[in-house]
Amino acid sequence: MEEFPKFEEYVLKNKNGMQVRCTNYGAIITGIEIPTPNGKIVNVVLGFDSPLDYYRSNIPYFGCMAGRYAGKIANGTFEIDNKKYHLRKNERGINHMHGGLKGFDKVFWNKSSKSDLSKGCLVLEYESKDSEEGYPGKLNIETHYILNDENEFFINSFATTDKTTIINITNHSYFNLNGDSSGDILDHTLFINAKELMAFSPEGNPTNKFSNIEGTPFDFRNPKSIREFVESKDEKIVKVGGLFNLFIFDKNGKVNASLQGNKTGIKMEIETNQAAMFVYTSNFLDALGRKGFAYKKHAGICLETENVPGFINSEDQSKIQLAPNETFKHLNKFKFTFSK
């Protein structure tokens, strides 16, 4: 009989009836439940019925913390101070993706004594050993999930290392603000404060080059429906079937991005200290979720705040390095409101 480690699920609540559910496996956000003005409870992230289902699922990265390095690393190799490191290749056996075969999404995190669930605070800790998945340095990371009475949900991560290493993490929740079993997100309204995209190499790997998107279908600075984007005749959009792009944030403006459900009126605003956000409209999703509901293409949207993965193996690599005398900080605020 198969044996499993002990799964724990934690619940954060506020005075308005909003709840956030998390599990120690993968630091996964298993639910964000929003009470609407008409008394209905809407779960705005896709997910499964129990924490064990995430362990068993072959659907990658549902709701997890992805790392030690979010995004793709071409050929699974990089250099620090002229020393080459070889990471485990979990993307077609060619590249390293989202931390490798056993990244932060597939390990058990520990609940910290810093946690205070009665005050809406959960802190999960993980020690990534030196050479884990091929990365240099022992990395100690903690992620703080905080829910306040203004319906603001914070995902703040901090890390230290004993050897210079690279780090670029993200949360990989799939959002549907109409509800996780409501269908697709095509009629959601999306805003992204960005006028540049990260360019990919001919092989499809991230680069440190940016392209201007002003006046193109990729320009979301004037909020528009995802359907308007998807139904564009742009060949890049047609090929992928939706959004699969890293947006580089403009420095002006406080809100980096927002998303609004057309049926519920739930609006989510995102503020972050990160340079970019990878946006994925679940173009290839096919899974059975809560209560057997079928999650199909465009059932959710990932809004993955992160640094630029293409900085690796370039003159910009210092931007994604962490030295022993530094503390890595990844800060995010998700504010939920209602708008007609």
The catalytic residue positions are 172, 304
Q: Which residues contact 109 (CB under 8 A, 6 or more apart)?
A: 24, 25, 26, 27, 124, 125, 126, 143
Give me the phi and psi of 106, to 5 degrees please. -120, 20
Distance CA 32, CA 136 (A): 35
Query: What is the distance, to the nearest Å, from the Cα of residue 69 to the centroid of all Cα atoms in its chain?
Result: 12
Beta-sheet strand order (sheet of 244-249): 174-175, 301-306, 276-280, 244-249, 194-200, 206-212
DSSP state of 152: E
Closest Cα partner for 31 from 301, 337, 297, 41?
41
Q: Which residues contact 220 (CB under 8 A, 6 or more apart)?
A: 190, 191, 192, 194, 229, 247
Closest Cα partner for 10 from 110, 150, 102, 142?
110
Contact indicator for 320, 166 with CB cutoff of 8 Å: yes
